[in-house]
C-alpha cells in the first residue's frame, strides 16, 4: 500500500499547539508521510516566532510561506488571505500531497482550504463544528463546507457538523491534540523553570514564587477591532488594582493587535505597573506548566476553555471571543469592565470546587488523528446529504 502524503499548514503560533501531537503521530505513522508547511504569522518574530519552536521540536519544514500584509486592519486581513491562496496553490502544486490539513478558524485558514479544494486535493478540517460568533464563526463553517473530512474536538461539535449536512462517515470526534499536551502537564505539573530567567520578558521582577501569580492572555476581537484598546485597558486596570504578581502575554496577530498592543504599551509607560511582567511567547509545554501552577488565567484565550478545563485551572473569560464554545465549570464569564473583572478574579481564586473535565479530549487525539488519516479512504467528491 502506498504511503499517503499529508500536508499540514500551520499559520499561527496557537495553531501549532492544536496540532503538535498529531504532527508527531503522522510523522511516525508507517502509512503516512508528513509535509509540514509553515506560513503567515507563524514565521514572524513579532508574533512569537513559532517556527523556531517547531524546528526545535525536530520537525522538518517543507515550505515557508510569507504572506502577511502589514496594516492589521480588515482590508489587510482579506488581502493576506488572498495572497495566501495564491502562495499555497503553488505549494500544493509542487508538493502534490494526498491530503491537506487546515486547522480551526483563523481568517487565513480558508486560504489553505481553497488552495487545496480547488486543486482537487482532499481537505481535512481540524476542529470544525464549534460556535463563537464573529468572523471566526464564518470562516470555520466555510472551512467545513470546503472540507472532505472533519476531525472535531467535542461531541457537541460533531453533532453540529452532521447537522450542516456533512457525510457521517467523514466526521470523527478525535478530541483536540492540545489536550494531549495538557495531559502530560496534568500528569506532571511541577513548574521546573523560572519563567523570567528562562524567557526574559519585559518589566519589573515580581514576587510570584511566594505570593503565587495570575496569567493574562487577551487577544483583540477581530470584528470589533476599534475597541481593542479600550478592552485591554479595563483588564490592565483590574490587574493593576488587584496588585497580585501577574505574567502577561502579548496578543497574536489579528486586526486590532495594534490596538491591544498599543494599549498595553501606553499603560506601561504611564502607570509603570509593579506587579506585571510581560512575555512575548513561551514554549507550549512551559506555558501549560505556568498555567497549571497559576491561581487563575484571565483574558479571552481558548486555552482557558480547553486545556485549563482539562487540567482544572480557574479561568476568568472576558468578552465575546469564546462566545458559544462549550466550557467546563472552571470558567467564569465576564465583560470588559474593571470592577466586574476584579470581582470575577476574586471569585475564581477563592473557589474550591474546580475539577478537571474531558470535554475537548482525553489525551490521545494526536494518534487518533493519524490513524484516521491512514485508514480513511480520502476523496474530494462530496455532496450535501440532504
Within 185-204, the residues that bind a copy of itself by CB under 8 A are: 202
Tell me how far apart the alpha carbons of residues 5 and 94 are, in angstroms, rounded to a whole number.
12
Cell digits for 122?
A: 482532499
Contact 116, 84 (CB under 8 A): no
- CA separation, residue 208 to residues 147, 176, 187 (Å): 45, 31, 23
- CA separation, residue 57 to residues 23, 197, 249, 307 (Å): 11, 21, 22, 20
The residue count for binding a copy of itself (CB under 8 A) is 71
Q: Which of 12, 19, 104, 111 binds a copy of itself (CB under 8 A)?
A: 111
Closest CB to a copy of itself among residues 146, 354 = 146
Give the contact letters, 78-97, x = binds to a copy of itself (CB under 8 A), - = no: xx-xxxxxxx-xx--xx---
* Beta strand pairing call for 4-10 and 32-39: parallel
Give the contact letters, 304-343, x = binds to a copy of itself (CB under 8 A), - = no: -------------------xx-------------------
By CB under 8 A, what part of segment 161-190 binds a copy of itself?
Answer: 163-165
Closest CA to 54 of 110, 15, 103: 15
Contact 87, 63 (CB under 8 A): no
- Taking each helix axis from N to C end, the angle separating 109-117 and 74-95, rounded to the nearest 10 degrees, works out to 40
- Which run of H or of E encompasses 216? strand 214-217
Choose one: 109-117, 333-341, 354-362, 370-378; the region binding a copy of itself (CB under 8 A).
109-117
Query: Which strands sit side by side in the sheet containing 214-217, from one edge to the other?
Result: 202-203, 276-279, 246-249, 214-217, 296-299, 315-318, 331-334
By CB under 8 A, what part of segment 22-41 binds a copy of itself?
Answer: 41
Q: Which of 3, 28, 45, 55 binds a copy of itself (CB under 8 A)?
A: 45
Nearest approach, Cβ of residue 119 and a copy of itself (Å): 4
280 binds a copy of itself (CB under 8 A): no
278 binds a copy of itself (CB under 8 A): no
373 binds a copy of itself (CB under 8 A): no
- What's the CA angle centered on 220, arms 217 and 222, to 5 degrees? 145
Count of other CB atoms within 10 angstroms of residue 220: 28
Tell me how far apart the alpha carbons of residues 118 and 352 are, in angstroms, rounded to a whole number.
52
Nearest approach, Cβ of residue 289 and a copy of itself (Å): 25
Nearest approach, Cβ of residue 121 and a copy of itself (Å): 9
Closest CB to a copy of itself among residues 186, 268 = 268
Contact 9, 101 (CB under 8 A): yes
Closest CB to a copy of itself among residues 159, 356 = 159
By CB under 8 A, what part of segment 50-79 binds a copy of itself?
Answer: 63-71, 74-79
Nearest approach, Cβ of residue 158 and a copy of itself (Å): 13
Q: Which of 102, 109, 144, 302 binds a copy of itself (CB under 8 A)?
A: 144
Nearest approach, Cβ of residue 328 and a copy of itself (Å): 21
Amino acid at each position: 500500500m502506498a504511503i499517503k502524503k499529508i500536508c499540514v499548514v500551520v499559520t499561527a503560533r496557537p495553531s501549532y499547539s492544536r496540532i503538535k501531537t498529531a504532527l508527531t503521530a503522522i510523522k511516525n505513522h508507517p502509512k503516512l508521510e508528513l509535509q509540514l508547511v509553515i506560513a503567515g504569522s507563524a514565521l514572524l518574530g513579532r508574533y512569537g516566532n513559532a517556527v523556531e519552536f517547531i524546528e526545535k521540536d525536530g520537525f522538518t519544514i517543507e515550505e515557508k510561506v510569507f504572506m502577511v500584509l502589514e496594516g492589521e486592519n480588515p482590508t489587510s486581513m482579506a488581502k493576506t488571505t488572498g495572497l495566501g491562496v495564491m502562495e499555497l496553490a503553488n505549494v500544493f502544486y509542487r508538493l502534490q500531497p494526498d491530503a491537506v490539513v487546515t486547522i480551526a478558524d483563523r481568517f487565513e485558514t480558508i486560504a489553505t482550504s481553497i488552495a487545496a479544494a480547488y486543486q482537487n486535493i482532499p481537505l481535512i478540517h481540524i476542529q470544525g463544528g464549534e460556535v463563537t460568533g464573529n468572523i471566526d464563526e464564518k470562516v470555520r463553517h466555510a472551512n467545513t463546507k470546503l472540507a472532505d473530512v472533519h476531525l472535531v474536538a467535542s461531541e457537541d461539535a460533531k453533532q453540529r457538523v452532521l447537522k450542516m449536512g456533512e457525510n457521517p462517515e467523514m466526521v470523527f470526534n478525535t478530541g483536540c491534540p492540545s489536550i494531549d499536551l495538557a495531559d502530560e502537564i496534568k500528569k506532571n505539573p511541577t513548574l521546573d523553570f523560572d519563567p523570567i530567567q528562562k524567557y526574559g520578558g519585559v518589566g519589573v521582577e515580581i514576587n510570584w514564587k511566594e505570593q503565587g501569580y495570575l496569567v493574562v492572555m487577551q487577544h483583540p476581537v477581530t470584528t470589533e477591532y476599534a475597541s481593542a484598546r479600550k478592552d485591554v485597558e479595563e483588564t490592565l486596570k483590574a490587574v493593576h488594582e488587584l496588585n497580585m504578581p501577574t505574567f502577561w502575554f502579548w496578543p497574536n496577530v489579528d486586526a486590532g493587535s495594534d490596538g491591544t498592543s498599543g494599549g498595553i504599551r501606553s499603560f506601561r509607560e504611564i502607570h509603570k505597573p509593579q506587579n506585571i511582567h510581560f512575555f512575548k511567547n513561551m514554549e507550549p509545554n512551559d506555558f501549560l506548566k505556568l498555567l497549571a501552577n497559576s491561581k487563575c488565567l484571565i483574558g479571552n484565550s481558548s486555552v482557558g476553555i480547553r486545556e485549563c478545563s482539562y487540567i482544572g485551572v480557574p479561568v476568568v473569560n472576558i468578552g465575546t471571543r469564546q462566545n458559544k464554545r462549550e466550557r467546563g465549570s472552571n470558567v467564569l464569564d465576564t465583560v470588559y469592565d474593571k470592577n466586574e473583572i476584579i470581582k470575577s478574579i476574586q471569585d475564581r481564586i477563592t473557589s474550591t470546587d474546580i475539577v478537571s473535565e474531558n470535554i475537548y479530549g482525553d489525551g490521545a487525539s494526536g494518534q487518533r488523528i493519524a490513524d484516521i488519516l491512514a485508514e480513511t479512504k480520502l476523496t474530494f467528491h462530496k455532496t450535501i446529504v440532504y
